[in-house]
Amino acid sequence: MKGKHHIIVQNSRVKFEFDLKRNLTIVRGDSATGKTTLVSLIDTYDRLGADSGIEISCDKRCLTINNSNWESVLNSVSDCIIFIDEENTIVKFDDFARKIQDTDNYYVIITRENLPNLPYSVDEVYGIHTSGRYADLRRTYNSFYQLYTAEENKIAEPAELVIVEDSNSGYDFFKVVVAESIDCISSGGKTKVKRTVTDNDGKKILVIADGAAFGSEMGELYLYMQKHPEVSLYLPESFEWLILKSGLIYGNRIADILEHTEDFIESSEYFSWERFYTKLLISETEDTYLQYSKQKLNDVYLNPNEKEAILKVAEVIKKYVG
């Protein structure tokens, strides 16, 4: 499955309306915010159809899975949007993550867990907002809102330490371009970012991480940042996205892909947008002077023109560049 999908789920008392554009969407929130109601409506409609009194408007079939039927359902369906309520513990286990990563479905997971086994984006973590937009007060209108927004990309200054999630090419780039007076270290992976931050408690820190797959780590780090304003975040989709966005690769095609990535990613082939951007950059630079490897940075990206093009995209961190 690919593309953006608009979904309306409603009955006489409640209406949900939202868009999905990635294969993994996480919905969080306290009790009584409508999360379970949404899943219940979808499940009832899938079983009873129009006789349920529920209407669903979507270009794809919407259905639910649970702890007891998830494997059999996933073996029998494709090109669907699958909703999972928070009472189902399957989402926490590696077997589930392995099973869904080769499917062509989209998944909406209602959970309070962080789910580090799933590479979901910080941009696809939502709460449910309820408003009284209808004259008929018996019906409530519910829509998704992002829990983490571009506000988290605001950079405090000055920083004493830059922590890069990446330990490969991204880290190779940032450790060279940040000012000599600022330490730059790798956390050694997204699950170690929070620990690396707390190990340096009291310092003014900038964290650079791949937003396309950092959603699972955002909850705890976000809470820490509320009490520690000296910690800032910069979350581009990925380091490969920065290079693609820089204009170093000529042509309108790349710009179009970056503007509407959801229309180019087949979910059964790429479990996260980060993987897609990596594959795209490798293929676009193959046998050119910009040839890219994720394991080790091509030194050409540190040449003045190439470096400046990348930093122009990462404008918020230019104050750290020496």
pLDDT tens-digit readout, 218-260? 999 999 999 998 998 999 999 999 999 999 998 889 999 999 9
Q: What was the pLDDT predicted at 39? A: 94
The closest of 36, 75, 43, 81 to 62, measured between CA atoms, is 81
The closest of 197, 184, 196, 190 to 320, measured between CA atoms, is 184
Q: What was the pLDDT predicted at 31? A: 63
Mean pLDDT by 10 residues, the chain (322 residues): 96 92 89 80 94 96 96 96 95 95 95 93 90 53 73 64 93 89 92 96 93 93 91 93 95 93 96 96 96 95 95 80 57
**Token pair of 42 as six digits:** 């979808």
Q: What was the pLDDT predicted at 135? A: 41
Q: What was the pLDDT predicted at 11? A: 93
Total-model pTM: 0.91
Map out the domains of the chain as residue ranges: 5-147, 152-320
The Cα–Cα gap between 154 and 36 comes to 34
Task: Please state, in angstroms and as integers, the Cα–Cα distance from residue 120 to each residue in 130, 192, 270, 273, following that order.
Answer: 24, 17, 12, 9
Burial of 67 (0-12, 13-18, 19+ CB in 10 A): exposed
Q: What was the pLDDT predicted at 278? A: 97
Q: Across the chain, where does the E strand assignment appear?
A: 5-10, 14-20, 24-27, 55-57, 61-64, 80-84, 106-110, 125-131, 140-146, 161-164, 183-186, 205-208, 231-234
DSSP symbol at 168:
S
Q: What was the pLDDT predicted at 250? A: 86
For residue range 12-46, what is the model confidence (pLDDT) as tens digits?
989 999 999 999 999 987 665 678 899 999 999 99
The Cα–Cα gap between 64 and 46 comes to 8
